[in-house]
Chains A and B, each alone.
Chain A
Amino acid sequence: MPSLLRQTEQDKKNTPHSLLPFLQSQSQNTLTRLYQRPSSCLSIFRLLAPLERQIVMNLLWLESAIAASTMAAWVQRDGRKLYEESLANLSYLHILPNSAAKLALNFTFKTSLRQALTGGGISGSFGVPAEKDDKQPGPDIEALDSFALERWETILHYMVSSGTGQNPTKPSQGVLFLLQRSELMNSFYGGPLQITSAGFQFLLHSPHAQLWDLLLQYLHLAEERQMDLVEVLGFLFMLSTMDLGREYSIENLSTTQKAMLEDLRDYGLIWQRRPNSRRFSPTRLGTTLTSSSPPLPTTTGVGSGPKEGFIVLETNYRVYAYTDNPLQTAVLNLFVSLKYRFPNLVVGMITRDSVKKALMNGITADQIISYLITHAHPQMRKNNPLLPVTVQDQIRLWELEKNRLKSSEGYLYTSFTSQADYELVLNYAKQLDVILWENTGKRCFFGSLEGHSRIKEFIERRTQNPNS
């Protein structure tokens, strides 16, 4: 189904970044304080859609407000709707106050973004570099990469192997708490943590999406812990504009930000020699927060295997995965029944049972297929469509099979005395939009649970004064 596939890729491009709804939900005061930092403005600017970015840029260097009609005159007829949507999105973020007549950027945002682009100001929001220490040079990029990878895979590996009887390395308490809070893992009756269906879906996301999923949870948590969100967000955005492979000083960080260092170290976003070190280095996970490049150098383990894809899927449902990474093997094990394991190769089959197991865990067929597509071996890329159609279709069919029975609770309304009576009640129920099934011949219909009380009320009113 290539068309279907393209559709999902399209959607991915058009959906706004997952952080933006969170920002939109914040108060104007919070956002304005956030916009005082040039690095935050630059990062948020990056997260915007291309058209929104252009609108911001067009207005950025204007000293006074311009008439909305002047700006609208440049919009092509076909783009009207998109343009209006972009203006609305910008106003939710309080970047471009909503106004029918005049357009002008939020003053704070404008000043800060100008500073970010010209490199002026005194805010130090891009991080203060640490003095060079010749005795203890900072880690090189390779060391940072392997640190980030190790931290991140520890988290994922812990999730995927929970409940399998293995005992993988436990991530820190903070991470465990976050996993539980975000309902990616759950502890049943005080037992050990178990992965939930949301957790299974999480495993199949791209590392970038996973990272933001967790950070969003972290932000929610920070809100509850009464941490200053501006400080938290500002620090994340600062990380995203830092230079990989450099050491930064913690002197200029606020108390909140210093408290975050430990959490960020646990997630693998920053590296520190010792917990109480006066300096830190951002890792690739941190510096790519607002870009679309892969946040991890290679998820295929140390040294071996090609960088991107490693999965070969054949029409006979066989899966060959060129990997020696236990995490990837474990993720595959979610929906593949594994047969053989070699030093750099894992062979398995996609079977009805293995897919069914995945579906039971809450993973959808689309997620399985998109995982296979994103991790397909370069050799597979020659094929068009990329995955064998038979296998794709079969996985979807297995999913449909699970959904042969749909149920919904409600009330069956029947034995109406007259056709007129029936139609009267039916029309009322139609207005409420609660009808799940109707049959005029049998003079009965099925309404959902929510509508029952109002329908009942309506009928009672009718029987009390039938002439009204």
Chain B
Amino acid sequence: MDASSHLSVVLDLPPAQWHRAAHHGLPLSDFLSHVLVFLHAHIAANAENSLAVFGAFPGSSTLLYSSADPVPEHLPIHPNSYPPFAALDHAVNRRIHAHLDALDDSSADPSALIAAITKALCYVNRLSLSPAANTNPSAERDPSVLPDPRLLVLSVSPDLATSYIPIMNSVFSAQKLKVTIDVCQVFGPDTVFLQQAAHLTGGSYIHLERRDALLQYLIMAFLPSPAIRNVIAVPTQDKVDFRAACFCHKNIVDVGFVCSVCLSIFCQPVPVCSTCRTKFPIKTLQRLNQSRPPLPSTPNGPGATTPRSNPGTPRIGPGGTNGTAVARSVSTSATTAASGELPHSSTIGLGTPNGNGNVGRSLSMGTPVTNTSPNGTAR
């Protein structure tokens, strides 16, 4: 029989947002019943398929269900349902209600979606480590232990500019763990960051258009494992908004300035990188400031107008272009790809000017700068 697969699901459950969604024809109860049937389908496919469900509430996140949990003894069995399904429904419903009841109504915290995503990734990491740890603690992660783990984020929250860095960090860990992140924006506007997360990990992003067909969307787009997606394509976005948020003011920027050492992004030229403390030559700063398009909304950062040079650190670079550089292609869209063609994930990256799957790399690749490592030697 075929190999099992793991699915982690993150449910975004801020009550305020769901209250709004209910007015648009998608109450939380309907949403949950669709999602639960989808989760049943995942367990039904293979008895060894594992599942973990995480909930993101305002200001907190929690594990709602894990297939590793023992089935509660007292849970009655119905002759018409498969016992694992009943255990899943019971656990998810009970814990969501317990959490929602415990919530303070006046709480205005945004949904802890990132915390839930991070927990989900930690869970996948633990799964992939535990069997190897039993036999050989030094062993590398064995891909056969946990084939193609996936993470599905069902989000209703709008983008939060402060969450850019944590999301990107999650994306990088997901890439390292070979986790595919799928995203479904169930309600509300498109989210730029989750779109990027899906794109960068080879997942699928869907903005739900017909709320009554949620289950069909879920099954067609998110149920197939990566191996199946090679045969039956899943819908993916044909436009990816690659914009990033700057590290200094958490604004989403069209044109940013990238530290050539640590790839931090700033909305304006800075004399010292706030992340890695690299100092940039004054000449570069002046040149960059001149070539800058007018950005009236950008507030001035501290020290932005008093650039200092640092002659003590030698820098090497072709053409004498050192220090921060304009990342010209931060915002791109892949409209050239997949128009009128089959929608599938591999075409998305191909149409972009940078062609890399990695945001950090694509930013620096657009610039004619040699990376200089912090100790001053050229790589």
Residues of A within 8 A of B (CB): 13, 17, 38-39, 42, 45-47, 49-51, 53-55, 57-58, 60-62, 73-76, 78-79, 82-83, 115-129, 241-243, 246, 252, 288, 290-293, 378, 381-382
Residue of B47, B71, B79, B225 touching A50 (CB-CB under 8 A): B225
Residues A42 and B232 in contact in the complex (CB < 8 Å), given A57-B219, A119-B82, A378-B135: no
Tell me the dominant secondary structure on chain B's binding face: loop
Q: Which residues of B contact A82 (CB under 8 A)?
A: 231
Q: Which residues of B contact A122 (CB under 8 A)?
A: 80
Is B81 a contact of A126 with CB atoms below 8 Å?
A: yes
Residues A121 and B219 in contact in the complex (CB < 8 Å), given A74-B233, A83-B231, A292-B48: no
Closest to B232 in A: A74
Residues A42 and B2 in contact in the complex (CB < 8 Å), given A76-B233, A129-B79: no
What CA separation (Å) do A120 and B89 show in the bound complex? 13
Is the CB of B102 closer than 8 A to any CB of chain A? no
Closest to A58 in B: B220
Residue of B47, B79, B83, B223 touching A124 (CB-CB under 8 A): B79
What CA separation (Å) do A125 and B82 show in the bound complex? 9
Closest to A123 in B: B80
Is A129 a contact of B77 with CB atoms below 8 Å?
A: yes
What CA separation (Å) do A17 and B47 show in the bound complex? 15
Which 6 A/B pairs are nearest by Cβ-Cβ distance? Answer: A291-B47, A79-B231, A119-B81, A124-B79, A292-B1, A243-B83
Interface string of B68-82 (1 = CB under 8 A from A): 000100001111111
Is A46 a contact of B47 with CB atoms below 8 Å?
A: yes
Residues A127 and B231 in contact in the complex (CB < 8 Å), given A42-B44, A46-B46: no
Is A243 a contact of B71 with CB atoms below 8 Å?
A: yes
Residue of A17, A49, A62, A73 touching B216 (CB-CB under 8 A): A62
Q: Which residues of B contact A292 (CB under 8 A)?
A: 1-2, 4, 46-48
What CA separation (Å) do A320 and B208 show in the bound complex? 60
Is B1 a contact of A17 with CB atoms below 8 Å?
A: yes
Is B48 a contact of A58 with CB atoms below 8 Å?
A: no
Q: Which residues of B contact A78 (CB under 8 A)?
A: 230-231
Is the CB of B228 closer than 8 A to any CB of chain A? yes
Is B44 a contact of A116 with CB atoms below 8 Å?
A: yes
Is the CB of B315 closer than 8 A to any CB of chain A? no
Is the CB of B328 closer than 8 A to any CB of chain A? no
What CA separation (Å) do A242 and B79 show in the bound complex? 10
Closest to B5 in A: A50
- Total residues of chain B contacting the partner, CB 8 A: 41
What CA separation (Å) do A447 and B56 show in the bound complex? 76
Is A116 a contact of B82 with CB atoms below 8 Å?
A: yes
A-B contact pairs, 10 of them (CB 8 A): A45-B45, A57-B45, A58-B219, A116-B82, A119-B78, A128-B79, A243-B71, A246-B77, A292-B2, A292-B48
Is the CB of B37 closer than 8 A to any CB of chain A? yes
- Which of B85, B227, B344 lies at the interface centre, i.e. has the most chain A CB atoms within 10 A of its CB? B85
Q: Which residues of B contact A119 (CB under 8 A)?
A: 78, 80-82, 85-86, 89
Interface string of B60-103 (1 = CB under 8 A from A): 00000000000100001111111101100100000000000000
Residues A53 and B215 in contact in the complex (CB < 8 Å), given A76-B233, A241-B82: no
Q: Which residues of B contact A290 (CB under 8 A)?
A: 47
Is B79 a contact of A126 with CB atoms below 8 Å?
A: yes
Q: Which residues of A contact B4 (CB under 8 A)?
A: 292
Q: Which residues of A contact B86 (CB under 8 A)?
A: 119
Residue of A62, A123, A241, A291 touching B48 (CB-CB under 8 A): A291
Is B228 a contact of A50 with CB atoms below 8 Å?
A: yes
Closest to B43 in A: A117
Closest to A116 in B: B82
What CA separation (Å) do A291 and B50 show in the bound complex? 13
Q: Which residues of B contact A54 (CB under 8 A)?
A: 223-224, 228, 232
Is the CB of B250 closer than 8 A to any CB of chain A? no
Is A126 a contact of B80 with CB atoms below 8 Å?
A: yes
- Which of B1, B216, B225 lies at the interface centre, i.e. has the most chain A CB atoms within 10 A of its CB? B1
Write the nearest CB–CB distance from B219 to chain A, whole angstroms: 5
Interface string of B240-263 (1 = CB under 8 A from A): 000000000000000000000000
CB within 8 Å of A: which B36-55 residues? 37, 40-41, 44-48
Is the CB of B378 closer than 8 A to any CB of chain A? no
Q: Which residues of B contact A83 (CB under 8 A)?
A: 231-232
Residue of B37, B76, B77, B224 touching A117 (CB-CB under 8 A): B37
What CA separation (Å) do A347 and B167 show in the bound complex? 57
Interface string of B1-45 (1 = CB under 8 A from A): 111100000000000000000000000000000000100110011
What CA separation (Å) do A127 and B37 show in the bound complex? 21
Write the nearest CB–CB distance from B314 to chain A, whole angstroms: 47
Write the nearest CB–CB distance from A247 to chain B, whole angstroms: 10
Write the nearest CB–CB distance from B145 to chain A, whole angstroms: 12
Write the nearest CB–CB distance from B53 to chain A, whole angstroms: 17
Interface string of B203-232 (1 = CB under 8 A from A): 000000000000110011001110110111
Is B228 a contact of A115 with CB atoms below 8 Å?
A: no
Is B232 a contact of A117 with CB atoms below 8 Å?
A: no
Q: Which residues of B contact A17 (CB under 8 A)?
A: 1
Is the CB of B276 closer than 8 A to any CB of chain A? no
Is A75 a contact of B44 with CB atoms below 8 Å?
A: no
What CA separation (Å) do A17 and B232 show in the bound complex? 22
Is A45 a contact of B44 with CB atoms below 8 Å?
A: yes
- Which of B3, B40, B47, B344 lies at the interface centre, i.e. has the most chain A CB atoms within 10 A of its CB? B47
Write the nearest CB–CB distance from A113 to chain B, whole angstroms: 8
Is A42 a contact of B80 with CB atoms below 8 Å?
A: no
4 new A-B contacts at CB < 8 Å, known A45-B44, A127-B77, A129-B79: A46-B44, A46-B45, A124-B79, A292-B48
Q: Which residues of A contact B44 (CB under 8 A)?
A: 42, 45-46, 116-117
CB within 8 Å of A: which B124-161 residues? 135-136
Closest to B135 in A: A378
Is B230 a contact of A79 with CB atoms below 8 Å?
A: yes
What CA separation (Å) do A291 and B2 show in the bound complex? 10
What CA separation (Å) do A51 and B78 show in the bound complex? 30
Write the nearest CB–CB distance from A380 to chain B, whole angstroms: 11
Closest to A378 in B: B135
Is B228 a contact of A51 with CB atoms below 8 Å?
A: yes
What CA separation (Å) do A412 and B350 show in the bound complex? 65
Q: Which residues of B contact A115 (CB under 8 A)?
A: 80
What CA separation (Å) do A293 and B46 show in the bound complex? 10
Q: Which residues of B contact A53 (CB under 8 A)?
A: 45
What CA separation (Å) do A319 and B229 show in the bound complex? 44
What CA separation (Å) do A117 and B45 show in the bound complex? 11
Write the nearest CB–CB distance from A209 to chain B, whole angstroms: 11
Write the nearest CB–CB distance from A251 to chain B, whole angstroms: 11
What CA separation (Å) do A292 and B49 show in the bound complex? 10
Write the nearest CB–CB distance from B69 to chain A, whole angstroms: 14
Q: Which residues of A contact B136 (CB under 8 A)?
A: 382
Q: Which residues of A contact B81 (CB under 8 A)?
A: 116, 119, 126
Closest to A241 in B: B82
What CA separation (Å) do A53 and B345 show in the bound complex? 22
Write the nearest CB–CB distance from A436 to chain B, whole angstroms: 40
What CA separation (Å) do A291 and B3 show in the bound complex? 10
Is the CB of B304 closer than 8 A to any CB of chain A? no
Q: Which residues of B contact A246 (CB under 8 A)?
A: 77
What CA separation (Å) do A79 and B48 show in the bound complex? 26
What CA separation (Å) do A115 and B44 show in the bound complex? 12
Write the nearest CB–CB distance from B303 to chain A, whole angstroms: 53
Closest to A128 in B: B79
Q: Which residues of A contact B37 (CB under 8 A)?
A: 117-118
Q: Which residues of A contact B342 (CB under 8 A)?
A: 73-74, 76
What CA separation (Å) do A443 and B3 show in the bound complex? 57
